[in-house]
Amino acid sequence: MSTEYSDKKTKKIEYIPGIECDVTNCVYNDEKRNCYAEKIKVGPMHASSKHETLCATFEQKPES
């Protein structure tokens, strides 16, 4: 598999090195857990532990 994909605007995006994501139904994730989002945002600001954080960049894959 290539390390690039075309997003909605057909812009080539490379995966973000060092980011591994276990979410299998995110449009930015491939089967190797690589994230292909242009950038990621993790929050919320008031989180005080790892269990309170989430990826605000998550976008669910369309149902097939």
Contact in structure between 25 and 57 (CB atoms under 8 Å): no
Model-level pTM?
0.68
Q: How many domains does the chain have?
A: 1
Q: What is the pLDDT of residue 1?
A: 38
- Which structural domain range is residue 17 located in? 1-64
Sign of CA dihedral 5, 21, 51, 40: negative
pLDDT, block means (10 residues), the chain with 64 residues: 49 83 92 91 92 92 84
For 59, the 3-state DSSP assignment is coil
